[in-house]
Amino acid sequence: MKELIAVGTKDGTIVNEDHFGQSKIFVIFKKNESGFKEVEKRPNPYFGKHQHAKAEEILKVLGDCNVWIAKSMGKKSVEKLKALNYETFLTVKDTAEDAIKDYLEIKGSGSLH
């Protein structure tokens, strides 16, 4: 699995306050030699249609991302993802970039570049 992190956002910048699966755009960051860098913005084809505890839907979009960052995520989805060796991380930060920095500070996984 590639070292990719997905942040659920409203608009490609602001972290979505609703459940992760209700994010409109996922901002993807990739690990490089000096930390992480934004590499892609993926629209969520399930935006407005995603049902709680249906992590399988979002896996179709983010299956290559091993860390998922959100302000909110359903307990059952977190359990399913953990069983599949995905990491989830809840943040209080408002922007995707700040959410990544929050994750890196707590996990000690490098810096954002």
Q: Give 51 or 88, the one with higher predicted confidence.
A: 88
pLDDT band at 1 (very low <50, low <70, confident <90, very high): very low
With a pLDDT cut of 70, the percent of the chain lying above it is: 89
Question: Does the structure show a pLDDT above 50 at 113?
Answer: no
For residue 51, what pLDDT is reported? Answer: 61
Q: What are the boundaries of each domain within the chain? A: 4-107
Homologous superfamily in CATH for domain 4-107: Dinitrogenase iron-molybdenum cofactor biosynthesis domain (3.30.420.130)
Indicate whether this model's pTM tops 0.95: no
The pair of three-digit structure tokens given for residue 14, joined into one six-digit string: 């602001």
Most confidently predicted of 33-47, 55-69, 83-97? 83-97
How far is the C-alpha of 104 from the C-alpha of 81, rounded, in Å? 20
